[in-house]
């Protein structure tokens, strides 16, 4: 009988491996629970579901294996108990994550709701919203700077899953292009930083905007990806910051200068991001940087004109 119990226990644990893999898959798919229109706390809900569902099942499975290995007497019921407890734990985690997302939707609404209300879509037919002028970007160093990332729409091309949105990220003044991601069933929309020249071209030319959006959907511009709405806004680099080397920084002005006010050469107007070279702010309150993804000379920009 003891041998049969051991064989049954082992077989049940082997069968439960499929249950563990299913939990991992369910966690990965939970990234589609929310879209970018659900701000702030919804992000926590998605992360909770993505990480918590597989983690709860894996922990219960491992504990059950350990207990069965150390137990005296019959052990066949350990995998059965693990299945029940792990499933309940995963369901509770999913419920908590979904509750946070639902609460955020209740507070902020979703992209779909805003489009239905006409805030993000064209005004019917081929009509498009008026393009509002973009004010010069000033360095965001005052206490009045936004505390969270938010996006202000200035132009939308198209409808349904072929629409492309242009606008301004209000915390830093960076221009952005937003597009739905079809590989995620169009439920998740991503924001990509663009420079002044690109903003002008994409605003005037819907075909060019869609071409760039297609490249984003093909993961060709991952270095330009902006945060989702509701997360902490960029904060200017302070003189005491350390471990800066290789970090991507956001330019908080269209016309960067060094700390003495001298314009920086080699940084195109409207550049959204740079890569930090030095590990710390230098004694003159500058940070050494170069452009992303290309071999360019290292230049010094005033630390308070760079956001992290």
What does the pLDDT look like over 92-109, one tens digit per residue?
Answer: 988 888 787 777 666 655
Q: What is the pLDDT of residues 112-158, one digit of tens each?
A: 544 444 444 443 333 344 444 444 444 444 445 567 888 889 999 98
Task: Give the pLDDT of residue 49.
Answer: 83
* Residue with the two structure tokens 């939970």: 30
Strands of the chain, DSSP E: 151-157, 164-169, 175-180, 189-194, 248-251, 273-276, 286-291, 299-302, 306-307
Q: HSE of 196 in the Cβ direction (CA atoms, 13 Å)?
A: 15
How many angstroms separate the CA atoms of 274 and 224, rounded? 10
**Cβ neighbours of 246 (radius 10 Å):** 9
Residue 21 banded pLDDT, cuts 50, 70, 90: very high
Task: Give the pLDDT of residue 276.
Answer: 93
Taking residues 86-96, what's their average pLDDT? 90
Higher pLDDT, residue 147 or 185? 147
Phi and psi (nearest 5°) for 290? -145, 170
Q: What is the pLDDT of residues 213-266, one digit of tens each?
A: 888 888 888 878 888 887 788 889 999 998 999 898 988 888 899 999 999 988
The alpha carbons of the chain give a radius of gyration, in whole angstroms, of 25
CA end-to-end distance (rounded Å), the chain:
64
How many angstroms separate the CA atoms of 207 and 211, rounded? 6
How many angstroms separate the CA atoms of 123 and 157, rounded? 11
Higher pLDDT, residue 71 or 145? 71
- CA separation, residue 47 to residues 32, 37, 107, 116, 146 (Å): 11, 16, 19, 27, 24
* Residue with the two structure tokens 């504990």: 63
Query: Is residue 194 within 8 Å of 202, Cβ to Cβ?
Result: yes
**Cβ neighbours of 95 (radius 10 Å):** 11
Q: HSE of 1 in the Cβ direction (CA atoms, 13 Å)?
A: 3
Looking only at the bridges linking them, the beta strands covering 189-194 and 273-276 are: unpaired
- Print burial letters for 266-279: b (CB count within 10 Å at least 16), e (below 16): ebeebbbbbbbbee
């Amino acid at each position: 009988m003891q041998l049969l119990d051991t064989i049954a226990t082992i077989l049940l644990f082997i069968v439960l491996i499929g249950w563990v893999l299913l939990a991992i898959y369910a966690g990965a798919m939970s990234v589609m629970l929310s879209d970018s229109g659900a701000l702030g706390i919804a992000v926590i809900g998605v992360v909770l579901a993505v990480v918590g569902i597989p983690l709860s099942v894996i922990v219960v499975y491992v504990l059950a294996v350990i207990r069965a290995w150390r137990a005296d007497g019959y052990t066949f019921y350990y995998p059965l108990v693990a299945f029940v407890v792990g499933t309940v734990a995963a369901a509770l985690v999913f419920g908590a994550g979904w509750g946070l997302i639902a609460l955020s939707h209740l507070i902020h609404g979703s992209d779909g709701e805003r489009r239905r209300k006409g805030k993000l879509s064209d005004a019917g037919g081929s009509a498009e919203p008026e393009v509002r002028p973009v004010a010069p970007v000033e360095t965001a160093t005052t206490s009045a700077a936004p505390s969270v990332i938010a996006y202000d729409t200035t132009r939308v091309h198209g409808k349904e899953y072929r629409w492309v949105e242009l606008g301004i990220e209000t915390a830093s003044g960076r221009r952005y292009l937003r597009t739905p991601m079809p590989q995620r069933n169009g439920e998740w929309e991503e924001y990509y930083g663009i420079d002044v020249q690109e903003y002008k071209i994409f605003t005037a030319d819907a075909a060019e905007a869609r071409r760039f959006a297609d490249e984003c959907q093909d993961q060709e511009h991952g270095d330009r990806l902006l945060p989702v709405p509701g997360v902490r806004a960029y904060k200017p680099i302070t003189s005491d910051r350390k471990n800066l080397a290789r970090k991507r920084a956001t330019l908080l002005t269209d016309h960067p200068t060094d700390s003495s006010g001298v314009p920086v050469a080699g940084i195109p107007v409207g550049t959204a991001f740079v890569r930090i070279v030095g590990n710390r702010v230098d004694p003159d309150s500058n940070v050494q940087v170069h452009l992303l993804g290309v071999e360019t000379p290292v230049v010094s920009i005033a630390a308070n004109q760079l956001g992290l």
